[in-house]
Structure 1
């Protein structure tokens, strides 16, 4: 179930866009998950119409997942003409600006979450977000994930979420396929860096310190702390 209606942030520091509109009710609609997880052909009339509303309206839909230490993860449908997409952002009240964790669009960037971090965010039960339901949170954040070391129960876990929140046929097959290909970037290897925090080797990831576009060392550590299972 979704949580009580929440006032969306008037702005997300350092992130241009909006006005934002909090729409937790969408998380109870199976068609939303078809669109969000790219499970439906957008030429399908209903799916295409919903995608047009999400990415072509005057307001930007936003969903919130609270994290440890008063951090928040925002999932923002960037309804910007010619540059539409979905941004996954992390912010803390002490930061001047939110950090982009993952970008799901034609110029994709990611992954931003390991499997352990994904499930920790799904299961933390913290109030104040769009939903406390672990299945909905798992599916909401799934496009930001990439990990080449999955536990034995990963397919079972994703299958349960798909079965609970969508009407897809053969959810176990879809879960298994999704966990093999893992979005545009594919499975990514995660390690503990010299600073004691989690990093990856993804070619498009802000959490790969080998890249010039990676976050600064201090921010990599802060993000890893917020995501700690």
Structure 2
């Protein structure tokens, strides 16, 4: 991707970064009040820095398979957004998992994959499981969430933010997953796919990723365990 890319890891220590990053899932005044409280002005200043055209913050989330997810703040005038790219050194170019902007594309992950990716050990990039979970959360679109999803998200918000009611905000985020309609996921021939109309991981879409890439990505996100036939969620 062309642009003035810079490492964004310094932002991860700012408790306000997380509600700003999760902003498209915080719809309405009640959600924003719960997430930002009295820090709205400071959050908007942080957003202005994150979206400055002179620097595009990048956050890298390495996976055990050797693939890496790159979260890129694409700060082009009139085309601001966050791209979720996945890459392997052997690939000639990165593939797009999801796009969080006005012309959104996704979802990029099912809940079990999000949890798996967050908990995979890493020695470089973003290594903290809670940070990985929140950083990748905007790729989520899963119509069949497990009962403990709110607990996992609440734990991450409690650890990394100063949100007064993290469980309430976690519920709001899970109710408003992404900008797309929550998808149904299942395994077909060992590949995790979905029925999302805007997803690169739905083989029925004309713009879907090639079958080989779908398999590699599915295996990487699931820690190499995406085999057999089953329904996710």
Q: TM-score, normalised by structure 1?
A: 0.88
Deviations 1:99-148 (A, max 9, x none): 0101000000111011111111111121111x211111100000011112
SS of the residue corresponding to residue 45 of structure 1 reads: helix
Deviations 1:133-173 (A, max 9, x none): 11111000000111122222111110111111111121111
Looking at both structures, which has the greater relative contact order when contacts are Cα pairs under 8 Å and sequence separation is at least 6? Answer: 2
Displaced runs of 4 or more, over 2 A: 39-45
Deviations 1:74-103 (A, max 9, x none): 000001111110000000011111001010
Deviations 1:166-197 (A, max 9, x none): 1112111111122122121132100112x320
Residue of structure 1 in register with 2:226 after alignment: none
Tell me if 1:58 matches 2:43: no
Residue of structure 1 in register with 2:8 after alignment: 23
Question: 8 Å contact 1:71–1:90 — kept in the other structure?
Answer: yes
CA drift of 1:56 comes to 1.8
Residue of structure 2 in register with 1:34 after alignment: 19
Residue of structure 2 in register with 1:180 after alignment: 175
* Unaligned 5+ runs, structure 1: 1-14
Residue of structure 1 in register with 2:77 after alignment: 81
Deviations 1:19-65 (A, max 9, x none): 21102121111111121011547993222221121112312100000
Whole-angstrom distance in 2 between the partners of 1:166 and 1:71: 28
User: Which one of the candidate residues 138, 143, 147 is aligned to 2:138?
Assistant: 143
Q: TM-score, normalised by structure 2?
A: 0.86
**Equivalent residue pairs, number:** 212
Question: 8 Å contact 2:53–2:77 — kept in the other structure?
Answer: no
Tell me if 1:200 matches 2:194: yes
User: Which one of the candidate residues 117, 122, 125 is aligned to 1:121?
Assistant: 117
* Unaligned 5+ runs, structure 2: 27-31, 224-233
Whole-angstrom distance in 2 between the partners of 1:112 and 1:35: 20
